[in-house]
Amino acid sequence: MRSLLGVIAAAVALGGTFASAPAPAPSPTPPGSRAAVPPRDNHLLVRGPTYVYNRAYAGARTTVAAYAGRGGRATVVFVVTGMPRSTWGRRFGVHVHTNRCGRDPAAAGPHYANPRAPRGATLAEREIWLDVRVLPGGIGVSRHTSTYPLPSDIQANSVVLHAQPTNTVTGDAGARVLCTTISLANIPRPAVSRSRG
Ligand SMILES: [Cu+2]
């Protein structure tokens, strides 16, 4: 069976449009060189879900990875496994929301909307959507690279999977099913390259 990280790596490789990709594996820092070597672990990775709001999805597991590329644009990768058989082949709306997950599905608040997006931007450009199609076997994978740079104090703290696909006009996707807390303000910023000496 393919490992979850393998699935994420495959998702990241799709399209190949990335300016930068996370290091393939953490490497041990040689003793005594901690200050001289920038951290290789340049991404956030969270496993969830933090809350499940529908008993039929109790077996679902989520992984959310996020990293910042050049210019402050960020990429978020969403993986869900263990989706019930009744969902195989269906699409589900997935979005980044403003607040952390809570016992109440509404706790995650509204969709995150990038305040740096220009006035004419569409919802899909302003928000972070990660809709997935569930494959046979119950796995769904998606990724989103922000259209515009994200502010470093971004108020985006969860990823919610809904019961329906996202309506691209309204952004609605029905009831909240799974919620995974991840604070995107904590994405490590790309290391500034310095002259070695
Ligand atoms: Cu949502």
pLDDT for residue 29 is more than 90 = no
Give distance in angstroms: CA of 69 to centre of ligand 1: 24
Whether the predicted pLDDT of 194 surpasses 70: no
Selected residue with higher pLDDT from 25 and 70:
70
Distance 33 CA to ligand 1 centre (A): 43
> From ligand 1's centre to the CA of 105, what distance in Å?
10
Distance 197 CA to ligand 1 centre (A): 48
- Whether residue 95 has pLDDT greater than 80: yes
Give 130 Cα–ligand 1 centroid separation in angstroms: 9
Q: Which residue has the higher pLDDT, 64 or 27?
A: 64
Cβ(57)–Cβ(111) below 8 Å: no
Domains in the chain: boundaries: 4-11+42-186
The total number of residues written for the chain in this structure: 197
Domain 4-11+42-186's class?
Answer: mainly beta
| Res. 126: pLDDT tops 80 | yes
What's the pLDDT score for residue 190? 65
d(Cα 79, Cα 135) in Å, to the nearest integer? 11
Mean pLDDT is lowest, of 1-10, 72-81, 137-146, for 1-10
127, 76 contact by CB (below 8 A): no
* 12 CA to centre of ligand 1 in angstroms: 22
Residue 70 CA, ligand 1 centroid: distance in Å: 27
Q: What is the CA radius of gyration of the chain?
A: 17
User: Range with the lowest mean pLDDT among 18-22, 153-157, 186-190?
Assistant: 18-22
Say if CB 180 and CB 158 are below 8 A apart: yes
The yes-or-no verdict on residue 28 having pLDDT over 80 is no
What is the per-residue pLDDT across 35-51, written as a single tens digit (0 to 9) for each? 555 556 788 999 999 99
Residue 108 to residue 22: CA distance in whole angstroms: 27
What's the CA gap between 182 and 142, in Å, rounded?
16
Q: Is the pLDDT of residue 160 over 50?
A: yes
Q: How large is the average pLDDT for residues 114-123?
A: 93
Residues forming a β-bridge with 163:
none
Report how far ligand 1's centroid is from the alpha carbon of 26 (Å): 32
What's the pLDDT at 70? 76
Question: 177 CA to middle of ligand 1, Å?
Answer: 10
User: What is the per-residue pLDDT for 37?
Assistant: 56
Q: Ligand 1 centroid to 95 CA: how many Å? A: 4
CA of 71 to the centre of ligand 1 (A): 26
Distance from the alpha carbon of residue 1 to the mean position of ligand 1, in angstroms: 30
